[in-house]
C-alpha cells in the first residue's frame, strides 16, 4: 500500500477531515459554476470581482485539503489556481475543478447525491423555517433596508439568478455555508435527507407558474423518457435547457417541461425522516 493511499484512508476515517474535504468540494462547485462569468472564452476578464473570488476559492479549497492530509489533491489545486490566475479558458478550469471535486468526493466518501427520492413538501416546510427570512417566502429576498446583510441572498425566484445552480450546489451551500457571504452552514441542524429535500425545493421557486407547469406535465406524459432525481441533482437549469434545445420543442414548451421536471417529486405524506 502506497503512502498516499494509507494517508487517504486514515484521513477518510477522520470526521473533521471529511468536513474540511466537504468544504473544499463545495468551493470547487462554485468555481465550476461561476468561472465562466469571470473569464470569457479568449481569456478576457468579464468580472474582476468574480475572478478574484474564483482564485480565492481554489486556494481556500487547497488549504482545506492540506489540513485533511490530502497533499496530492491540494497540489492539483495549486496548479488550478495558477490556471485561474492565467485566465485559462473556462472549459479547462471548469473541467479540472469538476474532476478534482469528484476525486475528493470519492476519497472522503462525501454525499454528493441524494440517497432517496426528494420530498418537496418537506423541503417547502424546511425552506420556510430555515431560509425564508433571508431568501423570502416565495424566493424573493426582502429589500436591503429590511435585511441589512453584508451580501445579498440568492433570489431563488429569479430565473437568471438560478440558471447556473443545481440542487447539488444548493445542498453544498446548505451543508457548508458560502465563504464571504452571510450564508451559514446547516450541516449540523438538518439531516442529509432534509438538506436534499430543501435543495430540490429551492429549484422549484423559479418555476411557479401553474399553467406553465401543467403544460409541461402534459408534454412529459408523451416523452419517451424523463430524467430521474439522481440526474436532476447535478444539473442546473441552463444544462437542462441545453438538453431540451435538441428536443424540437418551442422555447415556451421547453420552459414548461423544465418547470414540470423540477416539480416532478412531490412529497410523500408520512414518509419517515432520513
Quick check: helix, strand or coil at residue 149? Answer: coil
The label of the residue with cell 438538506 reads 195
Q: Which long-range contacts (CB under 8 A, 24 or more apart) does 2-11 make?
A: 4/72, 7/69, 7/70, 7/71, 8/69, 8/70, 8/107, 10/69, 11/68, 11/69, 11/70, 11/107, 11/108
CA distance linking residue 114 with residue 233, whole number of Å: 8
Between residues 273 and 265, which one has the greater pLDDT? 265
Mean pLDDT of 195-218: 94
The label of the residue with cell 454525499 reads 111
pTM > 0.75: yes or no: yes
- Inform me whether the pLDDT recorded for 101 exceeds 50: yes
CA distance linking residue 249 with residue 254, whole number of Å: 6
- Inform me whether the pLDDT recorded for 5 exceeds 50: no
Mean pLDDT of 212-232: 90
Confidence of residue 1 (pLDDT cuts 50, 70, 90): very low
pLDDT in tens, 149-192: 888 899 999 999 999 999 999 998 999 888 778 898 898 899 99
For residue 39, list its beta bridge partners. 45
CA distance linking residue 222 with residue 33, whole number of Å: 32
Looking at residue 120, the DSSP 8-state letter turns out to be: H
Neighbours of 116 (CB within 10 A): 14
Between residues 41 and 273, which one has the greater pLDDT? 41
What is residue 38's predicted lDDT score, i.e. its pLDDT?
94
Judge contact between 190 and 198, C-beta under 8 A: yes
pLDDT in tens, 115-141: 899 999 999 999 999 999 999 999 999
DSSP 45-73: BS-HHHHHHHHHHHHHHHHHHHHTT-HHH
What is residue 58's predicted lDDT score, i.e. its pLDDT?
96
Percentage of the residues of the chain whose pLDDT score is greater than 90: 65
CA distance linking residue 16 with residue 1, whole number of Å: 24
CA distance linking residue 262 with residue 193, whole number of Å: 17
What is residue 266's predicted lDDT score, i.e. its pLDDT?
66
Mean pLDDT of 209-221: 93
Give the C-alpha distances (Å, rounded to integers) separating 232 from 57, 111, 165, 262, 264.
25, 15, 11, 8, 10
Report the mean per-residue pLDDT for the chain.
88
What is residue 110's predicted lDDT score, i.e. its pLDDT?
82
Mean pLDDT of 11-17: 67
What is residue 267's predicted lDDT score, i.e. its pLDDT?
55
Confidence of residue 18 (pLDDT cuts 50, 70, 90): confident
CA distance linking residue 165 with residue 127, whole number of Å: 17
What is residue 9's predicted lDDT score, i.e. its pLDDT?
40
Judge contact between 168 and 233, C-beta under 8 A: yes
Judge contact between 206 and 157, C-beta under 8 A: yes
- Inform me whether the pLDDT recorded for 77 exceeds 70: yes
Amino acid at each position: 500500500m502506497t503512502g498516499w493511499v494509507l494517508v487517504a484512508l486514515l484521513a477518510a476515517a477522520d470526521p473533521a477531515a471529511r468536513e474540511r474535504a466537504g468544504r473544499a468540494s463545495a468551493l470547487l462547485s462554485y468555481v465550476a459554476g461561476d468561472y465562466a462569468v469571470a473569464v470569457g472564452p479568449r481569456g478576457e476578464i468579464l468580472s474582476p470581482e468574480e475572478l478574484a473570488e474564483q482564485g480565492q476559492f481554489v486556494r481556500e479549497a487547497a488549504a482545506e485539503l492540506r489540513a485533511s492530509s490530502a497533499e496530492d489533491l491540494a497540489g492539483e489545486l495549486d496548479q488550478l489556481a495558477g490556471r485561474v490566475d492565467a485566465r485559462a479558458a473556462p472549459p479547462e478550469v471548469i473541467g479540472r475543478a469538476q474532476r478534482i471535486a469528484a476525486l475528493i468526493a470519492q476519497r472522503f466518501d462525501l454525499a454528493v447525491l441524494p440517497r432517496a427520492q426528494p420530498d418537496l413538501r418537506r423541503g417547502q416546510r424546511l425552506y420556510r423555517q430555515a431560509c425564508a427570512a433571508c431568501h423570502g417566502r416565495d424566493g424573493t429576498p426582502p429589500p436591503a433596508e429590511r435585511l441589512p446583510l453584508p451580501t445579498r441572498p440568492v433570489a431563488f425566484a429569479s430565473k437568471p439568478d438560478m440558471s447556473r445552480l443545481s440542487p447539488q450546489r444548493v445542498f453544498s451551500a446548505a451543508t457548508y455555508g458560502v465563504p464571504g457571504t452571510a450564508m451559514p452552514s446547516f450541516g449540523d441542524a438538518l439531516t442529509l435527507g432534509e438538506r436534499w429535500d430543501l435543495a430540490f425545493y429551492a429549484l422549484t421557486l423559479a418555476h411557479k407558474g401553474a399553467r406553465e407547469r401543467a403544460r409541461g406535465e402534459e408534454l412529459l406524459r408523451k416523452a419517451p423518457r424523463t430524467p430521474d432525481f439522481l440526474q436532476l441533482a447535478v444539473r442546473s437549469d441552463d444544462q437542462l435547457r441545453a438538453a431540451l434545445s435538441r428536443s424540437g420543442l418551442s422555447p415556451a414548451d421547453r420552459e414548461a417541461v423544465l418547470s414540470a421536471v423540477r416539480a416532478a417529486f412531490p412529497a410523500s405524506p408520512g414518509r419517515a425522516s432520513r
